[in-house]
Amino acid sequence: MSIIKVGNLCKTFKVKTKDEGLKGSLRSIFSPSFRDIQAVNNISFEVEKGEILAFIGPNGAGKSTTIKMMTGILQPSSGTIQVLGLDPTKQRKELSYKIGTVFGQKSQLWFHLPPLDSFNLLGSIYEIDKVKLKKRIDFLKEVFEIEELMDVPVRKLSLGQRIRCEIAASILHEPEIIFLDEPTIGLDVVVKQNIRELILRLNREEKTTIFLTSHDAGDIEQLCKRAIIINHGEVVLNESIKKLKHDYLNKKVISIKYNEPVNVEKGDLNILKHKADSLKVQVDTSKQDIEEVLEKLIKLGKVDDIVISDPPLEEIISFIYRQSKEGGIDEMV
């Protein structure tokens, strides 16, 4: 059952422009000029109940604008949105009781006060019964392991501790959908993992639908079953993670630092960079055996250091976008 339905959604912003120099400044005082920016351009998609969906794209792709329209913060220029059967534009308040939001870079906790004060305030704002609120806070304290943080002013918390409290705060009212906008931004690997486990638990135990935006390929790989990729305000891919992984995340990058300069014969190697004693090679694991490639590379000389990495998500997205512009995406996926 679809609980989010977005149809032909568009959002245009009017941005003031100014010509360069003094003349341009004077002209803009008496005759200001504006340019339309198409932040979201005719996107349509649906989200099923209980799904964890990755909504990804580079900066300025239109992700946050879409989330803001889905939560009723921004008015669409055209198109339709239905979230839990409600129209966010007209029923923002009603909808806010049923959804939760975490914007990684913005806080809903009071900076100088302990999280418990903010939790109690949010409980009142969402009109949660006092006994029920206490039970809910106790439950979240245990699940998010924030018991010992509850009486520490938010300004004294580490980023990881704050994000745990932020997510707990956003689900106090047991929302049916939670919008997570880059929840792991700036966190170290251990804390990131911890947050991912919490999100999975939330989805599994409370059946909460998760709408996630992230620049972190790890978040998407570990959490989501489906990804919608958006760029320049358009949906460029709406596919299962399994298929996305098969088609794009099978490319590994091997970076080797040798003890001395080496000579490489290209052969079947996809060399990205070669500089005397360092070499960067891309391996398509669906076509090549990574062990064989590694063996070949190690034989080239004495190895000082070796790193195997996934291509950055941004690279995959821009690759997908380039393909879609050239009209080749259908053939690729």
Work out how close the CB of 115 gets to another protein at its nearest, in angstroms, rounded to a whole number: 12
Choose between 126 and 319: whose C-beta lies nearer to another protein. 126
Work out how close the CB of 323 gets to another protein at its nearest, in angstroms, rounded to a whole number: 25
Rounded to the nearest angstrom, the gap between the alpha carbon of residue 296 and the centroid of all alpha carbons in its chain is 37
Residues ≥6 apart with Cβ < 8 Å to 204: none
How far apart are alpha carbons 304 and 288 in whole angstroms? Answer: 24
Q: Give all strands (DSSP E) within the chain, no chain letters.
A: 2-17, 33-48, 52-56, 78-83, 99-103, 177-181, 209-213, 226-231, 234-240, 251-258, 270-275, 278-284, 303-309
How far apart are alpha carbons 126 and 85 in whole angstroms? Answer: 20
Choose between 232 and 296: whose C-beta lies nearer to another protein. 232
How far apart are alpha carbons 203 and 207 in whole angstroms? Answer: 5
Choose between 24 and 60: whose C-beta lies nearer to another protein. 60
Q: Which residue has the tokens 């003094």?
A: 22
How many residues in the chain? 333
Q: Give residues in contact with another protein (CB under 8 A).
A: 13-16, 37, 39, 59-60, 63-65, 68, 71-75, 92-93, 96-97, 99, 101, 103, 105-106, 108, 110, 112-113, 117-118, 120-122, 124-127, 181-182
Work out how close the CB of 125 gets to another protein at its nearest, in angstroms, rounded to a whole number: 5
Choose between 125 and 332: whose C-beta lies nearer to another protein. 125
Q: Count the helices and strands in the chain (H runs, E runs).
A: 12, 13
Choose between 233 and 256: whose C-beta lies nearer to another protein. 233
44: left (phi over 0), alpha (psi -120 to 50) or beta: beta
Work out how close the CB of 127 gets to another protein at its nearest, in angstroms, rounded to a whole number: 5
How far apart are alpha carbons 331 and 196 in whole angstroms? Answer: 33
Choose between 156 and 243: whose C-beta lies nearer to another protein. 156
Choose between 3 and 297: whose C-beta lies nearer to another protein. 3
Work out how close the CB of 67 gets to another protein at its nearest, in angstroms, rounded to a whole number: 8
Work out how close the CB of 106 gets to another protein at its nearest, in angstroms, rounded to a whole number: 5
How far apart are alpha carbons 77 and 90 in whole angstroms? Answer: 14
Work out how close the CB of 156 gets to another protein at its nearest, in angstroms, rounded to a whole number: 12
- Residue pair 235/44 in contact (Cβ under 8 Å)? The answer is yes
